[in-house]
Structure 1
Amino acid sequence: MSPDEMNKEPYIFEQIHIEVARNASDDFNLFHDKHKWLQITHNPFKGPIVLGYQLNTLIEYQMRLYRAAHHEDQVIAENNLRFSNYQITFVNAVRPRVPVYLDIKKTLISTIPTLTLGNRIALKSDGKTVLLGFKKETSEPLFLAGTPLDNLPDLNGIPDRSVVPGTDYFLKRKYLNNGSAKNFLSGSFAEQADYFDEVLQFAHYPEIFPCSLTSGALLEKAQLENHDFKRNPMVYTSHEISVDRHYVSLLKNNDTLNILVKQVPESSANTLNQTNIRLRTYHCYGLLESNAVLFRLTMNLVPLEEILKNLAQK
């Protein structure tokens, strides 16, 4: 199979893929639950849906194969493009047993302002686009690069599920686990043997799996704020992710990951494209035990009710 044909075969998610991924990442969102999806008010999806970070991981793995097939890993290494960036817009949901097709466009190389390798990506399902975005390799993070995080206190001594003193950050502490990472890969149609092999004694964490743990952090934050997941469900509209490959390469089983979550005040200047629906934006950071920043990401959500209202008016 040629590199340009590798993404022509469909991916068909079963409910077991969803179960494996949500359990591996502690994501208890009702939209993915094979029973509780029915409890969501006015749920239009008529069944459980695939996790957004599952789709991101599918993209990560196929981009890994694409880079290798096109000999782009050498360019990345020689130019120290240590940041892996994902800009993802969710257009629709992916349901079990409905074929999904991934399209990766040819790599574009830009040198202004600095060297960047970039690819447009799209996922289609049931004849409709469900995801659009870009995957880019850069020497500096594309998202939230200007946030100062070097003046934070020692996060390891701060209680889990609490606010970091002197800041607006909610802290959720997680511990990386090889088994969970392997399960998340398998649930996302990524070959876990490319990352972990006990016989050969190597373990290389994927980029997206640590980021996926932020969904559970948001859910726990909302739970503490008494959010009603059944009557006021929220759906993702986009992810913007910058991951530091250097720190990913150092990850190992049982490493501490301190996830910081900060909600941005809602504003009429920050709305869903071509609508008046205000986005609920979260800036999230994954810090290692040394306070080194593993990832920076923005997640945008909107109430499902607002989307349905907007569709009814069209």
Structure 2
Amino acid sequence: MKENLFTFEQIHIEVARNASDDFNLFHDKHKWLEITHNPFKGPIVLGFQLNTLIEYQMRLYREAHHEDEIIADKQLRFSNYQTIFVNALRPRQEMSLDIKKTLISTIPKLTLTNRVSIKSQGKTILLGYKKETQEPLFLTDTDLSALPDLNSLPDKTFVPDSEFFLKRKWLHNGNVKNFLSGSLAEQSDYFDELTQFTHYPEIFPCSLTSGVLLEKARLERHDFKANPMVYTSHDISVDRLLVKQLKNNDKVHVLVKQLPESKDNTLNHTRILLRTYECFGLLENQEVLFRIKLNLVPLEEIIKNLSAKS
């Protein structure tokens, strides 16, 4: 596929972070300066913004190649994003998005796969895959059936007899539209007030996870200036059938669980330990809307590793 060129402005970042309640200092046009040893020399684009851009461009790709018909006919209910963040992207930095030709495999089950990449100024920003499947690809072994009624639990607390931190979020059409526009996606493809057409995008509910992780860290008195964390990867499975049912003011229970750090779970075979989170978005009836495995590392460790190599 021909590479598409895009440029984010600072206003896109501000709109997206406000819409998703992401108060990470890395995206703030003033507070990025307060981050200790920040190497990015300015605010950077949100990871979920890039995923939303991929979602939208993949939607256009599927429609152009009539693959949306295959997805519907074969009941490929789950949309999966596998993303590795290699470098940060700054506003006003022209970037290219490349979507490779769809590979259709039937073993073990029918899967549509596209390799995607984002590059800017000769550097790779992101590498990943977009896959359509009948079953979710990530966190399929986690059984959530024993959870209590989440509606009855206090907000911003740990779920009893579990390791999950709970934060409630509510979906609002205005926030979704803003996040789409902030991610360089055409909001009118998802919303039309005159015909009362509403079709929520897949990534926006997932993007609320970042704000929940920040809320959890703030309650734990994490120092965002002295010890900033950066994403290294996202593994996302979204139930597109449930996405189609979303509407304004719907409640989403976001659950996040931090896994113990391990020497067997490191960044690119370095000594940098990954901080891994398993995250779920459950609707009011506790159906699972999305499953996300996130990896983060302290910025300080990345800088140390780069200094050791130079």
1:53-100 CA deviation, whole Å, 9 max, x = no partner?
Answer: 000000000000000000001111111100000000000000000101
* Corresponding residue number in structure 2 for 1:40: 35
TM-score under structure 1 normalisation? 0.98
**1:175 has 2:170 as partner:** yes
SS in 2 for 1:64: helix
SS in 2 for 1:77: helix
Distance 2:240 2:210 in 1: 21
* Corresponding residue number in structure 1 for 2:254: 259
* Corresponding residue number in structure 1 for 2:143: 148
| Contact 2:4 2:98 (C-alpha < 8 Å) held by counterparts | no
* Corresponding residue number in structure 1 for 2:190: 195
| TM alignment of 1:70-89, pairs within 5 A | 70-89=65-84
Match of 1:292 among 265, 273, 287: 287
What is the one-letter code of the residue matched to 1:284?
A: C
**1:68 has 2:60 as partner:** no
List alignment gaps of at least 5 residues for structure 2. none
1:16-55 CA deviation, whole Å, 9 max, x = no partner?
Answer: 0000000000000000000000000000000000000000
What is the one-letter code of the residue matched to 1:118?
A: T
Distance 2:274 2:206 in 1: 20
**1:108 has 2:103 as partner:** yes
**1:244 has 2:229 as partner:** no
SS in 2 for 1:282: strand
1:237-273 CA deviation, whole Å, 9 max, x = no partner?
Answer: 0000000000000000000000000000000000001
* Corresponding residue number in structure 1 for 2:51: 56
SS in 2 for 1:10: strand
Distance 2:161 2:120 in 1: 46
What is the one-letter code of the residue matched to 1:107?
A: T
**1:92 has 2:96 as partner:** no
Distance 1:81 1:218 in 2: 30
* Corresponding residue number in structure 1 for 2:214: 219
| Contact 2:80 2:131 (C-alpha < 8 Å) held by counterparts | yes
Distance 1:159 1:33 in 2: 30
Distance 2:202 2:236 in 1: 10
SS in 2 for 1:122: strand
Distance 1:129 1:114 in 2: 31
Distance 2:206 2:4 in 1: 27
Distance 2:156 2:120 in 1: 37
Root-mean-square deviation (CA, aligned residues, Å) is: 0.6
SS in 2 for 1:242: strand
How far off its partner does 1:151 sit?
Answer: 1.3
**1:126 has 2:121 as partner:** yes
Distance 2:267 2:169 in 1: 31
What is the one-letter code of the residue matched to 2:22?
A: D
What is the one-letter code of the residue matched to 1:103?
A: D
Distance 2:159 2:220 in 1: 16
Percentage identity across paired residues of the two chains: 73
Distance 1:9 1:275 in 2: 33
TM-score under structure 2 normalisation? 0.99
Distance 1:260 1:153 in 2: 13
What is the one-letter code of the residue matched to 1:203?
A: T
Distance 1:158 1:173 in 2: 10
What is the one-letter code of the residue matched to 1:25?
A: S
Distance 2:151 2:216 in 1: 18
